[in-house]
Amino acid sequence: MIAFVLRRLLWAIPTLFAVVTLSFLLMRFTPGGPFNADQALAPAVLENLKRAYRLDQPLIVQYGDYLARLLQGDLGPSYSYRDFTVTELFARALPYSLQIGGAALILALVLGVGLGALAAKRQGSALDAAVTTLSGLGLTVPSFVIAPLLSLAFAVWLGWLPAAGWGQGALSHKVLPVVALALPQIAAFARLTRAATIEALKADHIRTARAYGLPEWRVTAHALRAAGGPALSYLGPAAAALLTGSVVVETIFGIPGVGRYFVLGALNRDYALVMGTVVLVGVFVVLFNLLVDLAYAVLDPRIRHD
Amino acid sequence: MALGMPAQALTVYDRGNAGEPETLDPHLVSTVQEANLMRDLFEGLTAHDARAEVTPGAAERWEASDDGRTWTFMLRPDARWSNGDPVTAEDFVYSLRRILDPAFAAKYANLLYPILNAEKVNKGEAPKEALGIAARDARTLEIRLERPTPYFLELLTHQTTYPVHRASIERFGRDWVKPGRMVTNGAYRLAENLPNDHIRLEKNPFFHAASEVAIDVVNYVPLEDRGAALRRFQTSEIQSYDDVPAEQIAFIRRTLGDQLRIAPYVGVYYYAVNVRKAPFADPRVRRALSMALDREFIAEKVWAGTMLPAYGWVPPGFDGYAPVEASWRAMSQLEREDAALALLKEAGFDPDGQRLEVEIRYNSGENHQNTATAIADMWKAIGVDARLINADGKTHYAHLQNRGDFDVARAAWIADYRDPQNFLFLGLSDNVGFNYPGWNSPPYDALVKASDDMADPAERLATLRKAEAILVDEQPMIPILFYASKALVSHRLKGWEDNVMDIHPTRYLRLEP
């Protein structure tokens, strides 16, 4: 078990290295640079800037610089937030994304798995139809539609909640972004759980359990344990995505999280910021996939990590 | 309360700002949204009032030598930093030398090139001591110029000329802009800075006009999403916002009434034509392309009245300068199209034979796309086939600035200081960074350069006007629209005066309960 975890963590190093290298190259071969804007810079000024950020050095030197700094935990300076290093930006923004994303993850798991299981139990009922339809909607309607609609309905029309802003962390400010972030994930978990539970309820060991006359709630518990696989596989990437924030939800609800840094960094050619986000998301994905693999062993006794 | 403030109610103004600042260092910023913040935090020798007119700032008075090349500024005795230190002439010397230091790499350093030796210092060709600025004594500052610069007092309102607090910079390095460390000399001082959430400024008790500043706290709320900003305005979470979602303008007009402010603004939206190559080197072709544009339609329909049609290059709003308009302004759109067809024919093109093909490049954006589509359609009417190519902003401008090949490309210019020269210098043949078309007109260059040395304002503006007439006739840059400033301003917020610079310092605003 411990050997398995160590092996996986060791493997993460070359994986992250490859991701970093690839995104470094992709970023640099994208046309335009951090200092191209609609008000052009005087050539002399541009030269000064490039020198100051060492962008006048050969690419290989810049790459070496970046790796050397990365190994010391320094993600480099941001061009679009010049008063902060990328590390400082993440240190400030990550807690917000973790709060919103964490709450959305729990909401998605509880509601998604719950509704999915319920729908499966009552397959063909009105409830099942409702869950199936709503989850279809939740998956297909993008968050840039849902988020403004939520804000419009609950803030502008009803006046129950603030339209946006962090509001020094007041609960009322967190409700809409958490819901907006959770909705598509609730839908995904509900669909996965429903399908898997329907399968599981037909399985031999469930029939056997019923034949032995086990109470229905215990039968369902057995079925759910067997049905957890697909939802669990999905949990890894979903958790990584939710916890590292969403550019749409953060922009629309004014959450000062890390989600926007990836998109804004790419648009601004803020090289270090993009690379930093790649590393951050990479670490989260590796970590959560590892946790999910460990959880499999708990769920399915046939899987052993050794 | 924190910071030991008395527990009385503070007037707090939540000010929506259409972008997050790149930095709070006045010598490094470049965007309009950053300038809004800088204006509250700092004060230059001169400043802008509520109507964007030049008023005394840290200097209480000044005089210019007869040749207009030497200016002497007397600092006000009560000019103070937010930590109580006096603002001295030496602070300004330090600050100008700092921004022009090539190693400091300030984006906007070239704006200061009218100052004696500024360009040489900034290019590393002269030591910083050669810069034409000197402290006569603690309160007397002398600035020498390369040439008489009639807009010099206006230029001194720009953030590039703001003083910075030497002791804090030397102590904290680049961290001097952090809350608790940053020392400023404007009406406000920095209290908090949480990226993408808010920047909290508090009244600077040492500011010389502090007793006249009505708003105690101003929270700058960065709002890039215009729709979200509108919702926050509707729910009174912000009391102003310096932009509007243009696609919802009809709804905003209907529901918010006079809280929507639209006013002329000194900026031009144009298409640069690549005159380095055929057939665009032919002024007849450029003139034809320009004449075929129905600017009223673009301004009214595409931009929902948030832009104004442009028939000249320099926007209206400069005192003493009568804008130039193209000779064909008086014609109807149909007459213009006929004239354009005739011009194209002269240049060898024919709608039924050899058709002119044009590639329009523009930076991504819904309205840029709609504008390009409308223009392609208008050009079809004169037998021109247009193809649209769009790229994100960075790619688009990199392509233009690196002299990539193009036919016609979208660009824009917003005034840095209130003078027509700030628009006309774009057409100078030696303006490598900004003259995207690669236009080279010796008579134009001669006129603009000659105006630099003219001390008589009327003569100078008349000369600039002659230059503009050449540019408008030749159309290397096809002006399409003049910008209008768009803002949402709550009924509670008083003192917001519409002006062509779209400048609204918080110190002149009041917030009613």
The interface pTM score, or ipTM, of the predicted complex is: 0.85
- Per the CB < 8 A criterion, the answer to whether B481 and B307 are in contact is yes
Mean pLDDT of B53-61: 97
Residue A201 lies in a domain: yes
Residue A34 lies in a domain: no
Amino acid letter, residue B138: A
| Residue from B463, B416, B364 nearest B111 by CA | B416
- Per the CB < 8 A criterion, the answer to whether B285 and B449 are in contact is no
| Integer angstrom CA distances of residue A236 from A17, A305, B290 | 21, 17, 57
Q: What is the per-residue pLDDT across B382-403, written as a single tens digit (0 to 9) for each? A: 999 999 999 888 788 888 888 8
The SS3 assignment for B121 reads: helix
Please name the member of A45, A164, A165 whose beta carbon is closest to the beta carbon of B110. A45
Rounded-to-integer distance, Cα B322 and Cα A201, Å: 83
Amino acid letter, residue A285: V
Computed on alpha carbons and rounded to an integer, the radius of gyration of chain B in Å comes to 24
The SS3 assignment for B402 reads: coil
What is the helix (H) or strand (E) element at residue B59, kind and residue range?
strand B59-64
What is the phi/psi pair of residue B347, to 5°?
Answer: -80, 0
| Residue from B430, B382, B389 nearest B407 by CA | B389
Enter the DSSP assignment of B126: S
From chain A, the residues in CB contact with B237 under 8 A are 162-165
Mean pLDDT of B257-263: 95
Please name the member of A49, A159, A267 whose beta carbon is closest to the beta carbon of B392. A267
Rounded-to-integer distance, Cα B53 and Cα B500, Å: 10
Strand partners, B15: B220, B240
Residue A82 lies in a domain: no
Please name the member of A39, A48, A82 whose beta carbon is closest to the beta carbon of B23. A82
pLDDT on residue A245: 85
CATH of the domain at A240: 1.10.3720.10
From chain A, the residues in CB contact with B195 under 8 A are 81, 84, 89, 92-93, 256
Domain interval for residue A171: 94-268
Distance of CA B251 to the CA centre of its chain: 28
| Residue from B160, B158, B133 nearest B73 by CA | B133
Residues of chain A short of pLDDT 70, as ranges, are 38-40, 304-306
Report DSSP letters for A70-129, one per residue: HHTT---B-SSSTTSBHHHHHHHHHHHHHHHHHHHHHHHHHHHHHHHHHHHHTTTSHHHH
Q: What residue in A sits closest to B30 (Cα-Cα)?
A: A39
Neighbours of A214 (CB within 10 A): 15
Say if residue B6's pLDDT is above 70.
Answer: no
Mean pLDDT of B33-62: 96
Q: 3-class secondary structure for B300-360?
A: HHHCCCCEEECCCCCCCCCCCCCCCCCHHHHCCHHHHHHHHHHHHHHCCCCCCCCCEEEEE
Alpha helix ranges (H) inside B89-185: 89-100, 118-122, 152-155, 166-172
Residue A24 lies in a domain: no
The SS3 assignment for B488 reads: strand
- Per the CB < 8 A criterion, the answer to whether B242 and B484 are in contact is no
| Residue from B400, B378, B169 nearest B276 by CA | B400
Q: What residue in B sits closest to A252 (Cα-Cα)?
A: B228
Name the pairing type of β-strands B140-144 and B70-75: antiparallel
Chain B interface includes A80 (CB < 8 A): yes
* Mean pLDDT (chain B, rounded): 93
Q: Residue B145, class by beta-carbon neighbours within 10 Å (0-12 exposed, 13-18 middle, 19+ buried)?
A: buried
From chain A, the residues in CB contact with B395 under 8 A are 30-32, 36
The CA distance from B33 to the nearest CA of chain A, in Å, is 14
Mean pLDDT of B35-44: 97
Chain B interface includes A84 (CB < 8 A): yes
For an interface test with A, give the residue of B119, B177, B196 to mutate (most A CBs within 10 A): B196
The CA distance from A174 to the nearest CA of chain B, in Å, is 14
Say if residue B470's pLDDT is above 70.
Answer: yes
Q: What is the per-residue pLDDT across B84-133, written as a single tens digit (0 to 9) for each? A: 999 999 999 999 999 999 888 888 888 899 999 999 999 999 999 999 99
Establish, for the pair of chains A and B, how many residue pairs have beta carbons separated by less than 8 Å.
158
Q: Residue B352, class by beta-carbon neighbours within 10 Å (0-12 exposed, 13-18 middle, 19+ buried)?
A: exposed
Say if residue B187's pLDDT is above 60.
Answer: yes
Rounded-to-integer distance, Cα B333 and Cα B281, Å: 25
Amino acid letter, residue B93: V
pLDDT on residue B8: 65
Please answer yes or no on whether A164 and B231 come within 8 Å at the CB atom.
yes
Amino acid letter, residue B301: K
pLDDT on residue A39: 64
Rounded-to-integer distance, Cα A234 and Cα A139, Å: 14
Token readout for B157 is 């309102």
Token readout for B85 is 């230190």
From chain A, the residues in CB contact with B411 under 8 A are 38
Please answer yes or no on whether B22 and A165 come within 8 Å at the CB atom.
no
Rounded-to-integer distance, Cα A65 and Cα B316, Å: 50
The CA distance from A30 to the nearest CA of chain B, in Å, is 8
Say if residue B1's pLDDT is above 60.
Answer: no
Q: How confident is the model at residue B2 (pLDDT cuts 50, 70, 90)?
A: very low
Please name the member of B194, B195, B227 whose beta carbon is closest to the beta carbon of A148. B227
Q: Return the ∠ at Cα A248 (arms to B18 and B238), rounded to 5°.
A: 35
From chain A, the residues in CB contact with B412 under 8 A are 38
Domains in chain A, number: 1
Task: Check residues B22 and B230 and name the one with the higher pLDDT.
Answer: B230
Report cis status (omega within 30 of 0) of the bond before B279: yes
- Spatial CB neighbours of A146, under 8 Å, sequence gap ≥ 6: A180, A183, A184
For helices A216-243 and A271-299, the axis angle rounded to 10 degrees is 170
Please answer yes or no on whether A81 and B30 come within 8 Å at the CB atom.
no
Say if residue B202's pLDDT is above 50.
Answer: yes
Computed on alpha carbons and rounded to an integer, the radius of gyration of chain A in Å comes to 23
What is the phi/psi pair of residue B56, to 5°?
Answer: -60, 140
Task: Check residues B488 and B432 and name the one with the higher pLDDT.
Answer: B488
Rounded-to-integer distance, Cα B99 and Cα B91, Å: 12
- Per the CB < 8 A criterion, the answer to whether B117 and B189 are in contact is no
Residue A76 lies in a domain: no
Q: Which of residues 90-109 of A touch B (CB under 8 A)?
A: 92-93
Would residue A32 be called left, alpha or beta, if left means φ above 0 and alpha means ψ between -120 and 50 degrees? left
- Per the CB < 8 A criterion, the answer to whether B339 and B369 are in contact is no
Token pair 């951050």 is found at: A280
Enter the DSSP assignment of A42: P
Please answer yes or no on whether A163 and B177 come within 8 Å at the CB atom.
no
Residue A196 lies in a domain: yes
Rounded-to-integer distance, Cα B73 and Cα A229, Å: 76
Please answer yes or no on whether A36 and B23 come within 8 Å at the CB atom.
no
Rounded-to-integer distance, Cα B396 and Cα B390, Å: 8
Residue A48 lies in a domain: no
- Spatial CB neighbours of B445, under 8 Å, sequence gap ≥ 6: B428, B429, B430
What is the helix (H) or strand (E) element at residue A268, kind and residue range?
none
Name the pairing type of β-strands B307-309 and B188-194: unpaired
pLDDT on residue B355: 93
What is the helix (H) or strand (E) element at residue B136, kind and residue range?
strand B133-137
pLDDT on residue A205: 85
| Integer angstrom CA distances of residue B411 from A37, B360, B362 | 10, 11, 8
- Per the CB < 8 A criterion, the answer to whether B157 and B46 are in contact is yes
- Per the CB < 8 A criterion, the answer to whether A267 and A274 are in contact is no
Token readout for A175 is 């409700």
For helices B283-291 and B457-474, the axis angle rounded to 10 degrees is 90
- Per the CB < 8 A criterion, the answer to whether B177 and A83 are in contact is yes
Strand partners, B17: B222
Please name the member of B22, B103, B178 whose beta carbon is closest to the beta carbon of A82. B22
The CA distance from A189 to the nearest CA of chain B, in Å, is 29
pLDDT on residue B316: 92
- Per the CB < 8 A criterion, the answer to whether A104 and A181 are in contact is yes
Please name the member of B105, B392, B394 whose beta carbon is closest to the beta carbon of A49. B105
B476, HSE (Cβ side, Cα atoms, 13 Å): 23
Residue A226 lies in a domain: yes
From chain B, the residues in CB contact with A93 under 8 A are 195-196
Chain B interface includes A152 (CB < 8 A): yes
pLDDT on residue A35: 81
Rounded-to-integer distance, Cα B344 and Cα B332, Å: 18
Please name the member of B104, B195, B412 whose beta carbon is closest to the beta carbon of A38. B412
The CA distance from B342 to the nearest CA of chain A, in Å, is 34
